[in-house]
Every structure is written in structure tokens, then in C-alpha cells.
């Protein structure tokens, strides 16, 4: 009886009401199952990520490290290299996935994502410019890529803004700006010295090779702060899928919600790109994959974050251990994401014919 009071169903049987009548939240059963399953896989794979490598470790060696014991070399391998890298993969994957989910929700278009719309290319331009004009110090590169991402976003926003943000116009302008920035980047790389170009190219593929605790901690903290803001906009964003007018007339403040979502999404993608370079396709594919797994009408934001973290962690493990030569993780996500994009386009084409 008491359990029944705490676990009631919402508007449809798939939605669980958690809490009392005056204080509660709704939880989609299948989205929760997807999130929990992905979460368990993330934990298992993180353990594997710490154990595997050229210097294999056993579970007891790793436990020793966490208990404050163990050899100095083992401590370095675990705490300085492998654990930060695995944590970065999960956090960055979650950030990219949620960023893509926000873009796709506000534009009501599964093709919208920060990588397709030029934010990553903008960050990359900023990073190359910082490398050339401000020297290659880490804070300068981070500042440059953040500024580049925000500048690209501002250009898209200004060009696309008319009578509010129209979904399709926003995406088309973004693709145009993205193409222009890509050419700018190629031109910049041809003009700079060879060693600078090599450094920039390595970063340009998207990689977690350069993750250290010093870069992970500030970035991870910013990402978690931004993710904490997402629940505040998720309810009005859900209304937005009814169409702008229908959403607004149910009482949703769609203008402020949309602006807040864009700012959060840009913040998330810029934070990741500044450290790892543009990692493609997680933002594009994770939201749609999660929505199909959960069978929900809208993209479930929480579950998307977990699935995105899992996807980048798997991609990074593949990049490090499965393929004989070590690749940047961005190459793995481009290949798997490219296959996804082909599938998505074929499916959309089938539906419209």
C-alpha cells in the first residue's frame, strides 16, 4: 500500500511518479532502464580502461592505489594517466551528447548538432589562431578555442535570428558557417609552419591523448556545473516539441528556455573541444540512439548523457586497444558516426518517399 503511494503511474503507464502528490518527479521506465544499463557498462568499462594497456595492472594493484598504497609507477599510471582519461571520455561524451540533444530539441531536427553546425570548427579556428599568434601555451589554446566556438555561435545566431530562432534556418546557416570555417582552417594550416600545422592537425582529429588531471579538473567541473542546469530547462523544452505556438500557449516561456538551452549547449561543446579538439558525431548520434532505445516521444536528456559517455568511452578503448596502431578517438567516432549518419539519411529518405 505504501509502495503504491510512492510508485504511481503518470499520464501513461510508462511514466512513473516518484514522490508524493505535492512533491514528485516523473520518470520514464524505459529511459531509466537505458540509463541504468549504460551506467553499469560505463563502470565495467572504466575498470577495464584502468587495467588495460602496455603496462597491464591487476585489480588488487589498482585497489592498493585507491587505498593510498602501491608503487609510485603504478600510482602514476592509474591516477595521472588512465583514470583521468577514462573519466574524461565519460564526462566529455556526456557533455557532447547532452549538447546535441539540446540542439536537436530546440530545432526539432535530428540533423542538428554542434559538430554539423560549425561550433567545433569555430573552436578549431580559434585554437589555430591562438597557436599562431599567442604561442602554444595550454591556457592560450583553451581561451582561443572557447572564443572561437562562442564567436561561431554568435555569427550563426545573428545570421539566423529573425522572428525568433527558426529551426531549419538555424541549421542551414550553421552548416554554411561550418563550411566557411572549415575552409578557413585549411587555409590557416597551409600558411603556418610545419611543426605548428602538425600539432594543430593532431588536435583537429579529436583526441584524449593529452588529458592530464590538470586539464581534466577545470573542464570536468565546468561540464558538471552546466549539466546541473539542464533539468531546469527540460520541462519547457519538452513542450517545445508541440510547436512554438502550442508550447507557448500552454504557458512555457519558450524564448528564455531556448536561449538558456543554446547557451548551455554551446558551453558544453566548447568546454570539451577546448581540451580534446572536435570529437565528431557523438552529439549527433547519441540523442537519437537513446530516444530509439527508450521509445520516448522526446529525447530523454538524462539517459542521453549516460549513453553519450558510454559511446565515447567505448570509442576511446577501441582507439587505444583494439586497433593495432593508436588512433585519435575522433577518428573512431567519425567512422562509426559516419555509418550512423548514412543510416539516418537512408531512413529519412525512405520515410519521405
Partner 1 sequence: MTAPPLRSQAATLSYDKRVIVEDLTFDIPAGSFTAIIGPNACGKSTLLRAMAGLLAPAAGQMILDGKGIASLAPREIAQRLGLLPQTAIAPEGITVAELVARGRYVHQRLLRQWSAEDRQAVDDALRLTNVTELADRRVEHLSGGQRQRVWIAMVLAQQTPLILLDEPTTYLDIAHQMDVLNLLHELNAAGRTIVAVLHDLNHAARYASHIIAMKAGKVLAAGSPAQVITAATVSAVFGLETEVIPDPVTGNPMVVPHDTRA
**Residues that bind partner 1 in the complex, under the rule CB under 8 A:** 8, 10-13, 15, 17, 19, 21-26, 108, 162-163, 231-232, 235, 238-239, 241-246, 248-254, 295-298
What cell was used for 158?
545573428
How near is the Cβ of 249 to partner 1 at its closest, in Å? 4
Residues 6 or more apart whose CB falls under 8 angstroms from that of 9 comprise 15, 16, 17
Phi then psi for residue 54, to 5 deg, are: -60, -20
Which CB, 186 or 250, lies closer to partner 1? 250
Residue 255 and residue 315 in contact, taking contact as beta carbons nearer than 8 Å: no
User: In this structure, what C-alpha cell is assigned to residue 90?
Assistant: 565519460
Grid coordinates representing 192? 603556418
Nearer to partner 1, 10 or 213 (CB): 10
Grid cell at residue 294: 527508450
Which residue number, 98 or 128, has a Cβ lying nearer to partner 1?
98
Q: How many CB atoms lie within 10 A of CB 325?
A: 5
Report the C-alpha gap between 205 and 225 in whole angstroms.
27
Residues 110/112/113/114 CA torsion (nearest 10 deg): -170
Nearer to partner 1, 235 or 346 (CB): 235
Place of cell 549518419: 341
* Least distance (Å) between residue 233 CB and partner 1: 10
Please tell me the distance from the alpha carbon of residue 254 to that of residue 74, in angstroms, as a whole number: 52
Question: Which of 249/326 has CB closer to partner 1?
Answer: 249
The span from the first CA to the last CA of the chain, in angstroms, equals 52
Dump the DSSP string for 62-94. Answer: HHHHHTT-S-HHHHIIIIIIIHHHHHHHHHHHH
Smallest distance, Å, CB 243 to partner 1? 4
What is the nearest approach in angstroms of partner 1 to the Cβ of residue 36?
A: 20
Looking at the Cβ atoms of 250 and 326, the one nearer to partner 1 is 250
User: Shortest distance, CB of residue 231 to partner 1, whole angstroms?
Assistant: 7
Minimum Å distance from CB 337 to partner 1? Answer: 22
Q: Which is nearer to partner 1, 32 or 248 (CB)?
A: 248
C-alpha to C-alpha distance for 123 and 139, rounded to whole angstroms: 14
Maximal CA-CA distance, the chain: 73
Beta bridge partners of 165: 161
Q: CA-to-CA distance for 326 and 318, rounded, in angstroms?
A: 9
Q: How far is the CB of 348 from partner 1 (least distance, A)?
A: 12
Q: How far is the CB of 303 from partner 1 (least distance, A)?
A: 15
C-beta closer to partner 1: residue 22 or 350: 22
Amino acid at each position: 500500500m505504501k509502495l503504491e503511494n510512492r510508485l504511481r503511474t503518470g499520464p501513461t503507464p510508462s511514466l512513473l511518479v516518484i514522490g508524493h502528490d505535492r512533491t514528485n518527479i516523473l520518470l520514464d521506465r524505459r529511459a531509466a532502464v537505458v540509463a541504468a544499463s549504460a551506467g553499469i557498462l560505463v563502470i565495467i568499462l572504466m575498470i577495464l580502461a584502468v587495467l588495460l594497456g602496455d603496462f597491464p595492472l591487476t585489480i588488487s594493484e589498482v585497489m592498493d592505489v585507491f587505498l593510498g598504497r602501491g608503487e609510485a609507477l603504478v600510482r602514476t599510471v592509474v591516477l595521472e594517466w588512465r583514470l583521468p582519461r577514462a573519466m574524461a571520455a565519460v564526462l566529455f561524451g556526456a557533455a557532447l551528447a547532452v549538447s546535441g540533444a539540446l540542439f536537436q530539441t530546440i530545432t526539432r531536427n535530428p540533423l542538428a548538432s554542434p559538430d554539423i553546425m560549425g561550433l567545433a570548427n569555430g573552436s578549431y579556428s580559434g585554437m589555430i589562431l591562438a597557436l599562431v599568434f599567442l604561442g602554444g601555451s595550454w591556457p592560450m589554446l583553451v581561451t582561443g578555442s572557447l572564443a572561437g566556438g562562442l564567436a561561431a555561435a554568435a555569427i550563426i545566431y545573428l545570421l539566423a535570428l529573425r522572428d525568433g530562432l527558426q529551426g531549419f534556418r538555424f541549421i542551414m546557416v550553421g552548416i554554411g558557417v561550418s563550411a566557411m570555417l572549415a575552409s578557413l582552417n585549411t587555409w590557416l594550416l597551409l600558411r603556418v609552419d610545419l611543426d605548428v600545422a602538425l600539432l594543430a592537425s593532431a588536435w583537429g582529429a579529436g583526441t584524449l591523448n593529452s588529458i592530464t588531471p590538470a586539464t581534466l579538473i577545470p573542464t570536468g567541473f565546468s561540464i558538471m556545473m552546466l549539466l546541473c542546469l539542464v533539468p531546469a530547462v527540460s520541462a519547457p523544452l519538452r513542450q517545445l516539441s508541440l510547436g512554438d505556438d502550442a508550447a507557448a500557449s500552454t504557458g512555457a516561456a519558450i524564448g528564455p528556455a531556448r536561449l538558456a538551452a543554446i547557451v548551455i549547449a554551446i558551453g558544453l561543446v566548447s568546454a570539451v573541444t577546448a581540451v580534446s579538439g572536435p570529437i565528431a558525431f557523438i552529439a549527433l548520434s547519441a540523442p537519437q540512439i537513446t530516444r530509439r532505445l527508450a521509445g520516448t516521444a522526446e529525447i530523454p536528456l538524462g539517459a542521453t548523457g549516460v549513453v553519450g559517455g558510454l559511446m565515447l568511452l567505448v570509442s576511446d578503448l577501441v582507439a587505444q586497444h583494439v586497433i593495432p596502431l593508436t588512433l585519435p578517438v575522433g577518428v573512431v567516432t567519425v567512422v562509426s558516426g559516419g555509418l550512423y549518419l548514412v543510416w539516418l539519411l537512408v531512413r529519412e529518405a525512405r520515410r519521405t518517399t
